[in-house]
A = this chain, B = another copy of it.
Amino acid sequence: MLIVQKFGGSSVADAGRIRNVAGIIAESYLEGHEMVVVLSAQGDTTDDLLEKAAELNEAPSKRELDMLLATGEQQSIALMAMCLEAMGLPVVSLTGWQAGIRTNADYSAARINRINTERLHRELDKKRIVLVAGFQGVNKFDDYTTLGRGGSDTTAVALAAALHADKCQIFTDVEGVYTADPRKVPGAKKLDEITYDEMLELASMGAQVLMNRSVQLAKRYGVELEVLSSLVRAPGTKVKEVSRNMEEMKITGIAKDANVARVTVMQVADRPGSAFRVLNAVARAGINVDMIIQANGRDETNDMSFVVAEADAEAACKVLQDRQTAIGFRDISVDKDIAKVSVVGAGMMSSVGIASLVFEALNDEHVNIQMINTSEVKISCVIDAASADRAVAAIHRKFFEA
């Protein structure tokens, strides 16, 4: 079997952790599998490098930033190779370039264009464990690029797709995907399986297990993922097209995203195109907008609210203020003390009553719902931030602990 494994920065943070991971890799290799292993930079390496850069230049070019950051993963693969060598195993480490990972020229947020698998196959044919630096590639200028946040997951999935791997295992510091954040909800249950779509909703809702991009890529190429722990040897959660649970369980998980803000544009002129002009201005600034509400005002104006990532809130306000006359509105306010609580489940679409159960749970806890958004696979509610953990626990009890 050809297995792609990926280990994140905390899994290789020091010599002890590296040895632990080497043990996991060795176990699979010695079972007779072909192994391709993707590693992230050790622990805080990336942050340390960013700090060094900031000392010299507050806004360095992304090209040079990628040149700097790419060294972190290169160090990880070399150190892991040495550890596996010490165990007497055949191993070779490859940077993104050597592994044939070609990206577009979008420094710091590059997309993988293609993977030239020639060298990978050559090394696998020699029965070597192949370690690949995650998060990086090279563009058509032969310059180093990095793939942006969660890039190592993307590297792993892309390699699994290109090599037609039988398995793609993403090792993290949690044991899998849970019905809710297990640190906050003691009754949270680990899921055996979950569909790509459910995982996508959970990831974008702040579940922070897998980056959306890697899940999208996995869905597109039909790469079956397994999320599991590098510290506890136990089966994790499989992410695939169709999950076994689909029929029996309508709800997969409950996620909280506290890094959101509500922007309210007050007294927007009630004439055709006003809403479009507001949203278009924000979208053209590259800001994603989620959940839009228009409330009819008493006069000829409407108040309009939408949700953005907290980090984008100021930029969204600025963009609108700059166009205040053109758009036509009175004032803008921002509320960062909100959270988005989402209930996700591919089974939701064929069922009525899920929403009412959610509302019931929140009502029991006297939590006020500010905004609601529903899709075929999720229901999201915006509530005040202070109630969010209590709300998640209450909804979780309703669905999973009855």
Indicate with 1 or 0, residue by residue over A179-217, a CB within 8 angstroms of chain B CB atoms.
Answer: 000000000000000000000000000000000000000
State the CA gap A74–B144 with chains docked (Å). 11
Contact call A78/B93, Cβ cutoff below 8 A: no
State the CA gap A97–B67 with chains docked (Å). 13
- List chain B residues, Cβ under 8 A from A68: 74-75, 78-79, 82
* A:70-108 near B, CB below 8 Å: 70-71, 74-75, 77-79, 81-83, 85-86, 92-93, 95, 97-98
**Contacts from A to B (Cβ < 8 Å):** 15, 18-19, 49, 52-53, 55-58, 60-61, 63-65, 67-68, 70-71, 74-75, 77-79, 81-83, 85-86, 92-93, 95, 97-98, 119, 142-144
Task: For the complex formed, measure the closest distance between the CB of A321 and the CB atoms of chain B, giving whole angstroms.
Answer: 30
Contact call B79/A52, Cβ cutoff below 8 A: yes
Contact call B71/A53, Cβ cutoff below 8 A: no
State the CA gap A387–B397 with chains docked (Å). 85
Contact call A93/B79, Cβ cutoff below 8 A: no
Task: For the complex formed, measure the closest distance between the CB of A46 and the CB atoms of chain B, giving whole angstroms.
Answer: 12
State the CA gap A92–B61 with chains docked (Å). 10
Contact call A70/B74, Cβ cutoff below 8 A: yes
Contact call A82/B60, Cβ cutoff below 8 A: yes
Contact call A98/B56, Cβ cutoff below 8 A: no
| Closest B residue to A58 using CB positions | B86
Contact call B98/A79, Cβ cutoff below 8 A: no
Contact call B85/A60, Cβ cutoff below 8 A: yes
Partner of A57, one of B63, B83, B95, B144: B83
State the CA gap A78–B57 with chains docked (Å). 11
Task: For the complex formed, measure the closest distance between the CB of A129 and the CB atoms of chain B, giving whole angstroms.
Answer: 12
State the CA gap A106–B82 with chains docked (Å). 18
Instruction: Decide: A55 near B85, CB < 8 A? Known: A67-B77, A68-B79, A98-B143.
Output: no
Partner of A64, one of B49, B53, B78, B119: B78
| Closest B residue to A143 using CB positions | B98
- List chain B residues, Cβ under 8 A from A95: 67, 144
| Closest B residue to A75 using CB positions | B71
State the CA gap A63–B53 with chains docked (Å). 29
Task: For the complex formed, measure the closest distance between the CB of A175 and the CB atoms of chain B, giving whole angstroms.
Answer: 26
- List chain B residues, Cβ under 8 A from A81: 60-61, 64, 67
Contact call A74/B71, Cβ cutoff below 8 A: yes
Contact call B65/A53, Cβ cutoff below 8 A: no
Partner of A67, one of B52, B78, B86: B78
Task: For the complex formed, measure the closest distance between the CB of A125 and the CB atoms of chain B, giving whole angstroms.
Answer: 14
State the CA gap A335–B389 with chains docked (Å). 74
Contact call B49/A75, Cβ cutoff below 8 A: yes
Contact call A85/B57, Cβ cutoff below 8 A: yes
Contact call A15/B78, Cβ cutoff below 8 A: no
| Closest B residue to A77 using CB positions | B67
Partner of A74, one of B55, B56, B67: B67
- From A64, A81, A97, A98, name the one whose CB has the most chain B CB atoms within 10 angstroms: A64
A-B contact pairs, 9 of them (CB 8 A): A49-B75, A57-B85, A58-B86, A60-B85, A63-B92, A68-B79, A71-B71, A71-B74, A71-B75
Contact call B56/A15, Cβ cutoff below 8 A: yes
State the CA gap A285–B60 with chains docked (Å). 50
Known contacts A52-B79, A53-B82, then 15 further A-B pairs from the complex at CB < 8 Å, ordered by chain A residue: A49-B75, A52-B75, A56-B82, A56-B86, A57-B82, A60-B81, A60-B82, A64-B81, A67-B77, A67-B93, A67-B95, A68-B78, A71-B78, A95-B144, A98-B142
- List chain B residues, Cβ under 8 A from A64: 78, 81-82, 85, 93
